[in-house]
Homo-oligomer: A and B are copies of this chain.
C-alpha cells in the first residue's frame, strides 16, 4: 500500500505557489466512481463544468478543458493559432514567461522576448508601454501574437492585462493577445472578456484547488477565427472538435472524469454567494498578500516584486540576504517544520524563496507558514530586523476579512 511519510505526525503545510492544497471537499468529490464518458450522467457533468469554468474565466465564449497539465495548454494556445515561422512577441516577467518562450521556439515559431534588462524585469509586471512601442514599430504586422503572463509564479508579480490590451489597441495592431493565467486564475482577479483577451491559458492545481491534470484554453472569436488558417500541426490540442462536441457536454476523446468531478466542486466553492462569490475570493487573497508582505517587511527582507501595483495576491517572493542560500533555508524549514516553500527559479535560483497564498488558505495557515519561515531563517543564521510573525498578526487582526466571508453560525 502506498504511504509517503517523511514526517511522523501532523499535517504537511504545502505553501508553494502550486500545486496548492486540495480541500477535503474536492478530494472527496474526486473519489466518486469513474463513469462512462459517453453515458447520460457524463453529459450532465460536462455541461455543468463547462458552464462553471466560463464563470470563473468571466467569459461567454468557449473554454476548452484539456485532460493534460498546464504546459500542454501553453502548447495548445500556440498550436491552434499560429503557423510555422510566425513571429510572436513575448514578454519576460520571469521563469515561466521564459519557459513559455522556450516552448514556443521548440514548436517552430519565431519569438521575440521583450523585457527590462537583467533581473529587473523579474521584479515587475509587464511594462505595457514597451509592448505598445514595439507593436507600433511593426508596421507590416509581422507579429501575430502578443504573449504575456498574468501572474508570474516565479516572482510574485501580477501584470495589468487590461493595460496590455490597451497598448495593442493604441498601436492599432491586429496581433492576438494570449495570456497565461495558470497561477492567477481564481485567486487573482481575471476578466477574459472584459479585458479583451483572445486566448487565456490556465491550469487546475493553483487557484482552482485541484490536483494537476487538467488545463484550459479560454477562447475568443478572433482566436477561433485564427485557428481556421493556422498551420502548426495540431490534433490532441485542436480546438475545433472539442468545441463542437462540448455543446452536448462530451469530449472527442476520453476526458479526465475524476478531475472534472473536482472541478464541479471547485466551481461551487469559488462561486458560493454566501462567501461573496468570485469577488469575495479575490478580496481574501489580496488581504492575505498584504499580511504576508507585512511580515516580510518586518523581517527586513526584500520582496522580489518591487512594484507595488504588481504585488501578487497569489504568492510572495522573499529575497534572502547576500550570502544566504535560499534553498538551504528551504531545506531546513522543510526538515524541521514540515513546510514546503517554493524555490527560486532560473535567474534567481538560490537567491529567493516563494510563499504561496493561493487556493485554499486562511489566516492561521499563513501564520503557521510565516512562523516556520521565521524560525527557519533564524536557525539558518539570518539576522532579522524584527518579527514578521508579529507584523502579520497585527495586520490580520487589524484588518478583518471583507463582509460575507463567514456564514452566521
Contact = CB atoms under 8 A, between A and B. Distances in A.
Interface of A: 1-14, 16, 18-19, 21-25, 27-41, 43-45, 66-72, 74-75, 79, 84, 103, 106-108, 203, 205, 211-214, 232-236, 238, 253-259, 261, 264-265, 268-269, 272, 274-276, 280-281, 284, 334-340, 343, 360-365, 367-369, 371-372, 374-375, 378-379, 387, 389-390, 393, 396-397, 400, 405-407, 409
Q: Which 6 A-B pairs have the closest CB atoms?
A: A10-B362, A1-B1, A40-B409, A8-B275, A367-B371, A68-B68
A33 B39 contact: no
Nearest to A378: B397
A235 B68 CA distance: 13
Contacts of A360: 9-11
A264 B259 CA distance: 18
Given A30-B30, A389-B390, A364 B374 contact: no
Contacts of A23: 11
A203 B254 contact: yes
B4 A259 contact: no
A378 to B, nearest CB: 6
B254 A335 contact: no
A367 B367 contact: yes
Given A22-B258, A71-B253, A213-B213, 6 more contacts: A10-B360, A69-B255, A211-B258, A233-B233, A363-B372, A367-B371
28 contacts: A1-B265, A2-B29, A2-B261, A4-B44, A5-B407, A6-B41, A6-B406, A8-B280, A8-B284, A9-B281, A10-B364, A13-B364, A19-B36, A19-B37, A24-B32, A27-B33, A37-B212, A40-B409, A67-B69, A71-B253, A72-B236, A106-B233, A338-B363, A363-B371, A368-B368, A371-B389, A375-B397, A389-B393
